[in-house]
Structure 1
Amino acid sequence: MKFWPFSRKSGHDGAVDNSLDLFRKLFGWMATKSGMSVSHKTSLEVTAVLACVRVLAEGVAQVPLKVFKTKTVGEGMDEAKKHPLYRVLYRKPNGWMTSFEMREMMTMHCALTGNAYAFVNRLRGEVRELIPIKMGCVTVEQQDNYSLVYRVTAPNGESRPFPPEAIWHWRGPSWDGVVGMDIINLAREAIGLAMSTEESHARMQRNGAAIGGVYSVEGTLNKQQYEDLRKWLAKNFDGIENVGKTKLLDRSAKFYPSTMTGMDAQLLETRRHQIEEICRAMRVMPIMVGYSDKAATYASAEQMFLAHVVHTLSPWYERIEQSADCNLLTDKELDEGYYIKFNAAGLMRGSHKDRSEYFAKALGAGGSPAWMTPDEVRGLEELNPKGGAAAELPKPTNVGGSAATPKEKINGKPDLQPA
């Protein structure tokens, strides 16, 4: 009996080969060489994938996303708190979600499928609401004039097209510039092998990590004797409850092991390697998912955490910022100096000692030119500005009133005395 009512053949171009492949494609299942079927949902059952997705999603969601406006030249920028988009992005995108929850959800979608979508609800041209669209409910079509049309399928099955200004599209690494590449599909072999080794390990543990083999007895067993022996073996030999029990063999029976142990099969080594493979595909440092090298020290781990912000999260921030500028702000607002920015300064903070040394140099300690004002330093520490002299660059301590001028040379060197 066929599971699917029709079958279709094709060449070996990655298309449908039979009805089972068609079923897998329709429901998002991707076959692998290890024999495991991988989908976006089942891949999250692999702890390495789940950890990578959570690291990315929480890294994007925990950093404030705000609307800013540049001032005149030389006067910096301000948070555009009166802009209608400020509250939507920073705190409340819709009536039932927080900004953290929406960005966490969309990052998970984008990390897994390469795309994330949100409906942009505008009122008199102003963005009033952002509604994330469930994964798999949007298809993108590029017209002959290169414009995009988004076809969204509602929960009731109704489908309708939307123009680009109605959809906020997060596009991951893309091959055609229209949609992002499906990351789980590209990494399905690594994920499938991780699932396969975990299942093999689980089966071994279910059997008490006992070695399988051949139970040989003298003579020929009839059908009833074979079934009785099979039940007896399952009851007294197999299963974790029989581990450590003494085995009794009768009728000159002999046991010949025929399978590898977990150590022989190197299941643990394979599972460790698959963590690295999945992290490589998801572009997340293994230490961020709880997998660290034995040679890692506290100092090197701290640098790895900073590298995670620079090399993993920063590209996500820039990708989302530019997408928000293009999709949520009008050309007029862009010309007026509005832009959308993540504030990731808090993630880059090191220890108090490191920050103190950095700020001291920024303020001109040691005679080097200052490149930050005291108020700018206070702002990075989330302290209110003082104004006045604190808003100006400090002068080096070896010039001005405290400078020293040479009066005479002693042993070939100038004798520095206060001027």
Structure 2
Amino acid sequence: MLFRRNVESEKRTSYSLSDEEILKIFNIDADGVSEDKLKQATYFSCFRILTDSISKLPLKMYQENKEGIEKANDHYLYNLLKLRPNPYMSSSDFWKMIEFQRLDKGHSIVYIDTIKRGRNAGKIKGLYPLEMNKVEVWIDNAGIIGKDNAIWYIYKQDKNTEFKFKSDQVLHFKGMTRDGITGLSIKDYLKTTIENAQSGEKYVNNYFKNGLQATGLLQYTGNISKEDENRMRERFEKMANGLKNAHRILPVPTPFSFQPITPSMVDSQFLEINELSIRQIASGFGIKPHQLGNLDRSTHTNIVEQNKEFYIDTLQPILTMYEQELTWKLLLQNELEQGYFFRFNVDSILRSDIRTRYEAYQIGVQSGFLSINEVRDKENLSSKEEGNQLICNGNMIPVSMAGEQYKKNNTQNE
């Protein structure tokens, strides 16, 4: 074996009789709950909110120099990442897929396609996300390749085709991580909570399918064969269950009697338990209640604050991880030294109402630290001549000159 350690293979080394893989071999359904966690409404909503939030943020390239920070829109990577990372995906679709895989699998890997020959050798042509089901992460602990602890990515396109990528040939975006190399999937840690929510949805679904009718106990005095028992059960279920039988009279022949035994949703505190599962799933993703349509304790003021908290507590660490990986892997050493870097524009999230923005702009311009063109750029307006000049209120003077006007007035009076 070439490598001593396969990160993916270390996830599971032993099996028990309760393990899902063992149950699959014998075609045993442990709990009747779908393994596809995305079928759970809250889990799917959290995926949608995070993927949409990331994909709507424009990614831009900047350069920091002695004069400050400015857009590097003359760099060839600027439009590549802003508009179309590869011929088949827009920037929005690209980031939706990346974020989806990062949440679902714990990490997402993107192949960096570069020009191999000619004077443009090394120049990036496109970025292609890999299917995480076909990727394995290997660590060369022994230094067999020639570099200690080198990380390799093995992509198995099919049974006969396999690609090996070095660490600098891919972008590796992670979620939570224990070792800094591979990410942890949210669904593995929220498995029990998600399955509880799935069970609740399945209960409600069956409740409606049965026409909101409760199951019960069919009583009979006397002996009855197993065959007759099954026949009577099927007959009563056919008469009582289903939406078409809702609120209809159920004829019970003599000597049978029917007694409901299923508790109501209120008796079993179903709504409270289901609400708890929703909050726990949302909390695991860092999603705020109002984003899931829960407005019980929400007002206009605290929703604005919750949006800011969502950016600071949830999105900012994700965006920082993306920005650092892009900057380190896509830029050359001399470009890093020249101050180039990538950054997502989060103005669309933090953007206040128009009155609040204009009042803030007015303070910035009058205080002399914002120019007219900087304000117009934030509002997606074209620049104006002499708009880069800083202006301020004429009554303002340096602190060192405080009191000079009084000295001048006293001299004139004398």
TM-score scaled by length of structure 1: 0.83
* 1:189-215 CA-partner distances (Å, limit 9, x unpaired): 111111111111211221122121211
Could you tell me which of 86, 95, 107 is aligned with 2:87?
A: 95
Shift of 1:330: 2.0
Q: Secondary structure at the match of 2:132?
A: coil
Aligned counterpart, 2:43:
49
Distance 1:84 1:363 in 2: 33
**Residue 71 of structure 2 is aligned to residue 78 of structure 1:** yes
1:302-341 correspondence to structure 2 within 5 Å = 302-341=304-343
Matched position secondary structure for 2:172? strand
**Corresponding residue number in structure 1 for 2:20:** 21
Please name the residue that 1:386 is paired with: 384
Q: List per-residue Cα deviations over 1:115-134 (Å, max 9, x = no partner).
A: 00111101111111111111
Where do 5+ consecutive residues of structure 1 fail to align?
Answer: 1-12, 409-413, 415-419
Distance 2:234 2:190 in 1: 42
Q: 3-state SS of the aligned residue for 2:14? A: coil
**Which residue identity lines up with residue 221 of structure 2 in the other structure?**
E
> Using the alignment, how far apart are the partners of 2:404 and 2:335 within structure 1?
54
The higher-RCO structure (CA 8 Å, 6+ apart) is 2
1:58 maps to a residue whose letter is: D
The letter for the 1-side match of 2:365 is: L
Alpha-carbon displacement from aligned partner over 1:134-159 (angstroms, at most 9, x marks no partner): 12221112222232111111145533
Which consecutive segments of 4 or more residues in structure 1 shift more than 4 A?
23-26, 36-39, 403-408
Match of 2:130 among 130, 133, 136: 133
Counterparts of 1:54-203 in structure 2 under 5 Å? 54-71=48-65, 73-81=66-74, 83-123=75-115, 124-144=121-141, 145-156=148-159, 158-203=161-206
Aligned to 1:417: none
For 1:207 and 1:309, how far apart are their aligned partners in 2? 44
Structure 2 Cα separation of the partners of residues 376 and 268 of structure 1: 51
Distance 1:228 1:146, change over 3 A: closer
Task: Tell me how far 1:257 sits from its aligned partner.
Answer: 2.4
Report the Cα distance in structure 1 between the residues aligned to 2:238 and 2:344, rounded to whole angstroms: 61
The separation in 1 between residues aligned to 2:37 and 2:13, in whole angstroms, is 21
Q: 1:311 to 1:387 in 2, by over 3 A?
A: farther
- 1:113 corresponds to which letter in structure 2? K
Question: For 1:281-329, what per-residue CA distance to the aligned partner results, in whole angstroms no more than 9, with x for missing partners?
Answer: 111212223233x121122222222322232222221110001011211
Whole-Å Cα distance in 2 between the matches of residues 248 and 25 of structure 1? 43
Matches of 2:223 and 2:153 in 1, distance apart?
A: 69
Cα distance in 2 for residues equivalent to 1:249 and 1:18: 44
Distance 1:330-1:384 versus aligned 2 partners, 3 A rule: same
The CA distance in 2 between the partners of 1:407 and 1:326, in whole Å, is: 57
Kindly report which structure 2 residues correspond to 1:246-325, keeping only aligned pairs within 5 A, or say none: 246-292=249-295, 294-325=296-327
Give the aligned residue type for 1:77: E
State the identity %: 22
Output the amino acid matched with 2:41: T
Deviation sequence 1:157-198 (CA, Å, 0-9, x none)? 533321012111111221001111121111111111111111
Shift of 1:216: 1.0
Take 1:38 and 1:338, find their aligned partners in 2: how far apart are those partners? 47
How far residue 349 of structure 1 moved from its aligned partner, in angstroms, is 1.2
Structure 2, unpaired ranges of 5+: 1-11, 116-120, 142-147, 410-414
Whether the aligned pair in 2 keeps the contact of 1:201 and 1:267 (CA below 8 Å) is no
Q: TM-score, normalised by structure 2?
A: 0.84
> What is the CA–CA distance in structure 2 between the aligned matches of 1:150 and 1:343, rounded to whole Å?
31
Q: Which residue of 2 aligns with 1:372?
A: 370
Q: Any idea what SS the aligned residue of 1:250 has?
A: coil
Does the CA-based 8 Å contact 1:324-1:340 persist in structure 2?
Answer: yes
Alpha-carbon distance in 2 for matches of 1:181, 1:231 = 47
Post-superposition offset of 1:223:
4.2
Q: CA deviation at 1:66?
A: 2.1
Q: Which amino acid aligns with 2:110?
A: A
Distance 1:231 1:155, change over 3 A: same
Query: Equivalent residue for 1:9?
Result: none
- Cα 1:186–1:343, aligned 2, differ >3 Å: closer, same or farther? same
Contact 1:118-1:132 at 8 Å conserved across structures: yes
Q: Distance in 2 between matches of 1:146 and 1:191?
A: 37
Aligned length: 379
Distance in 2, Cα, partners of 1:261 & 1:318: 48
2:71 maps to amino acid: D
Residue 344 of structure 1: aligned partner? 346
CA distance in structure 2 between the aligned counterparts of 1:36 and 1:219, rounded to whole angstroms: 35
Tell me by how many angstroms 1:276 deviates.
0.9
Deviation at 1:249, TM superposition (A): 2.4
How many Å separate the matches in 2 of 1:295 and 1:289? 13
Q: CA contact under 8 A between 1:38 and 1:191: conserved in structure 2? A: no
